[in-house]
Structure 1
Amino acid sequence: MTTALDRIRVGSAPDSWGVWFPDDPRQVPWQRFLDEVAEAGYSWIELGPYGYLPTDPARLTDEVERRNLKVSAGTVFTSLHRGPAVWESTWEHVGQVAALTRAMGAEHLVVIPSFWRDDKTAEIIEPSELTAAQWAHLTKGMERLGHEVKETFGLDIVVHPHADTHIDTEEHVERFLDSTDSDLVNLCLDTGHYAYCGGDSVKLIETYGERIGYLHLKQVDPEILAEVVDNGVPFGPAVQRGVMCEPPAGVPALEPVLTAAQALGVELFAIVEQDMYPCPPDRPLPVAVRTRAFLRSCGA
């Protein structure tokens, strides 16, 4: 018998509709995303790239409420390992997104570190390993960000380990967690990105449970991932090859992840994100419907 995952709040995001940018002709219009995410049976969404959905809180509230949707989080990109020189520009960006996130009644801000390799060209922008000084900038910067976001907007930041960033592998994720204050910084565990980088999501939840503040649900295709790793393919082209696949076809198995998360005894968002930029406009909805049905079969 399937265990009821009554502490897991399932949602989806623009990412599952092939949306990576605020404005891109290859992406579905935001109205269609909202219509289809509701049709697929989800009640929670993320904001996606700032500017994709309307940024006027009154208008966005009207649009989501008409479709019986609610917002779980906003997302920001940061490069805090570069030190205090980037703080002002970082805070300007964070402030915009955090204000809208707060206005929509959400409580989380997902923070993604910047890429060390260009997502489109594969150009190496900076070394994949940080120096000790850069690690200190990163961890202290995230703690400062967590403090300021909480004080100013009442939101909790959850840092998202991500392929082709400096917080990716098990070693880097554990170093980051061990170097930051749990009162200020917790984790958005993305099961797909963590598997992409060789990590075990269930082990991470069981070891660092008090630091898991939010989940992104996705899977990787192990065969495509093996080719990607062997050939040093950057994340963007890897997505175009289909490295992130529809569950339950890939890894990690999501049932054990959800069961481990349920066992933490706290309410957690679990937002489906199936990276597939760019994709044909008719592809996302059927995938989203099947994925929602699969998660229901797991008890979520």
Structure 2
Amino acid sequence: MTRPALIGSAPDSWGVWYADDPKQTPWRRFLDEVAAAGYTRIELGPYGYLPSDPVQLRDELGQRGLSVTAGTIFEHLHRADSWDSTWRGVSAVAELTAAMGAEHVVVIPDFWRHPETGEVLEASALTEQEWPVYAAQINRLATAIRDDYGLQIQFHPHADSHVDTHEHVERFLVETDPDLVTLCLDTGHISYCGGDNLRLINDHPQRIGYVHLKQVDPAILEKVRAEGIGFGEAVRLGAMCEPPLGIPDMRPILQALAGLDVELFAIVEQDLYPCPPDQPLPIATRTLSYLQSCGPLR
């Protein structure tokens, strides 16, 4: 049996990385345009970008026929004494996510290299001793989010983080509890870091709990790797591109996801920070049309 993925979009596709930044699309314009592009589902984006008052946010979404699929937050649990600061951010996002009727929190590991300046902040890889400690903290976080808010965390491997390459994603899956932790499979980040999306889907079907759809420009990726460019600069160069201009091929991925026969949200999340204000809407509209032509989506 097959079950089409449930498509949506995210503030990231409108150039939004921060709660408040003058270079970003204003939140009302984002909501207007994501609905105009044909999407009915969104992520919350950075906490504080959209209204954090549930009554106001519910009203704004209802006016546009939109619903929320997930909240999104970075964590830094690989660092010592990091639980309290991580929990403050995650719990705020989880509370709003649950109030919006969503069931997922996308959790992203923090950067080892500054996302804008490219400055190296810490070692780029976890040690053998750090891996199990970090995994235990992620399991603890997943348990707390489930018990306190009734939500499932979807862990998002990310470029310039400690869970980036195919090898590191596999290690993360081995170290974490499959009953607690599933992946937000970001097709762009997996390809950016040299991984194989289809192999992850086929090898770990029970660990795919959520999806971000994006593509990478191979020519820019080659430059990034050759020159050791950080992720933020890579995005400014156009590393994350509009499909079908990049990799991976969306058709076999959407078919493989449908074959899992589970309810999956597939959220279009093209990194565009920063971008001209009139750029996102046409791209979002074309992207939705293209993805719908590729395979099972609804």
Category of TM-score, reference length = shorter chain? over 0.9
Query: Who is 1:258 aligned against?
Result: 254
Q: Does 1:33 align with 2:30?
A: yes
Work out whether residues 45 and 271 of structure 1, in 8 Å CA contact, stay in contact via their aligned partners in 2.
yes
How far has the Cα of 1:134 moved from its partner?
1.8
Contact 1:112/1:159 (8 A) holds in 2: yes
Q: Are residues 1:10 and 2:7 paired?
A: yes
Counterpart-to-counterpart distance in 2, 1:138 and 1:36: 39
1:208 matched residue in structure 2: 204
Name the TM-score, length of structure 2 as normaliser. Answer: 0.98
Percent identity between the two aligned chains? 59
Aligned to 1:82: 79
Match of 2:271 in 1: 275
**Is residue 158 from structure 1 mapped to residue 154 from structure 2 by the alignment?**
yes
Q: Is the 8 A contact 2:45 2:71 kept in 1?
A: yes
The Cα RMSD (Å) is 1.0
Task: Return the alpha-carbon distance in structure 1 between the equivalents of residues 65 and 273 of structure 2.
Answer: 26
Q: Which residue of 1 aligns with 2:59?
A: 62
Q: Which residue of 2 aligns with 1:219?
A: 215
Q: Which stretch of the first structure deviates more once superposed, 133-142 or 207-216?
A: 133-142
Deviation at 1:6, TM superposition (A): 4.2
Amino acid at match of 1:288: A
In structure 2, the residue matched to 1:294 is 290
**1:56 partner letter:** D
- How much does 1:5 deviate? 6.9
C-alpha displacement at 1:31, in angstroms? 0.2
Q: What displacement does 1:108 show?
A: 0.3
**270 and 5 in structure 1: CA distance in 2 versus 1, 3 angstrom threshold:** farther
Superposition deviation, residue 159 in structure 1: 0.5
What is the 5 A alignment of 1:184-199? Answer: 184-199=180-195
The 2-side partners of 1:181 and 1:6 are apart by: 26
**What's 1:138 paired with?**
134
Shift of 1:76: 1.0
Q: What is the rounded CA distance, in whole Å, between the counterparts of 2:8 and 2:215 in structure 1? A: 16
Structure 1 moving runs of 4+ over 4 Å:
none
**CA distance in 2 between partners of 1:113 and 1:296 (Å):** 30
Q: Could you state the TM-score of these two structures normalised by the residue count of structure 1?
A: 0.97
Equivalent positions of 1:225-240 (< 5 A) are 225-240=221-236
Which amino acid is 1:289 matched to?
A: T
Output the CA distance in 2 between the equivalents of 1:235 and 1:137: 26
Structure 1: unaligned runs, 5 residues or longer: none
Residue 184 of structure 2 aligns to a residue whose secondary structure is: strand
**Distance in 2 of aligned mates of 1:146 and 1:70:** 23
Contact 2:3 2:259 (C-alpha < 8 Å) held by counterparts: no
For residues 234 and 175 of structure 1, the distance between their equivalents in structure 2, rounded to whole angstroms, comes to 23
Residue deviations 1:202-226, cap 9 Å, x none?
Answer: 1110001100000000000001100
Aligned pairs for 1:101-180 within 5 A? 101-180=97-176
* Secondary structure of the structure 2 residue equivalent to 1:82: coil
After superposition, what is the alpha-carbon deviation per residue over 1:54-102, rounded to whole angstroms, capped at 9, x for unaligned? 000000000001100000000111111114x111111111110000000
Cα deviation, residue 7, structure 1? 2.8
Q: What amino acid maps onto 2:63 in structure 1?
A: R
Letter in 2 for 1:9: L
Q: Is the Cα contact below 8 Å between 1:82 and 1:134 reproduced in 2?
A: no
Q: CA deviation at 1:132?
A: 2.0
Structure 2 gaps of 5+ residues are: none
CA 1:228–1:60 in structure 2 vs 1: closer, same or farther (change >3 Å)?
same
Question: How many angstroms apart in 2 are the aligned matches of 1:137 and 1:80?
Answer: 9
Q: What is the alpha-carbon distance in structure 2 between the residues aligned to residue 243 and residue 28 of structure 1?
A: 20
**Which is worse superposed, 74-83 or 189-198?**
74-83
**Is the contact between residue 2 and residue 260 of structure 2 (CA under 8 Å) also seen in structure 1?**
no
Q: Residue 3 of structure 2 contacts residue 260 of structure 2 at CA under 8 Å; is this kept in 1?
A: no
Which residue identity does 2:101 align to in structure 1?
Answer: G
Q: Which residue number corresponds to residue 49 of structure 2?
A: 52
Query: Deviations along 1:168-191, whole A, 9 cap, x unmatched?
Result: 000000000011111111100000
Q: Specify which of 238, 241, 248 is matched with residue 242 of structure 1.
A: 238
- Work out whether residues 113 and 161 of structure 1, in 8 Å CA contact, stay in contact via their aligned partners in 2: yes
Q: 1:203 is paired with a residue of what secondary structure?
A: helix
Deviation at 1:122, TM superposition (A): 1.1
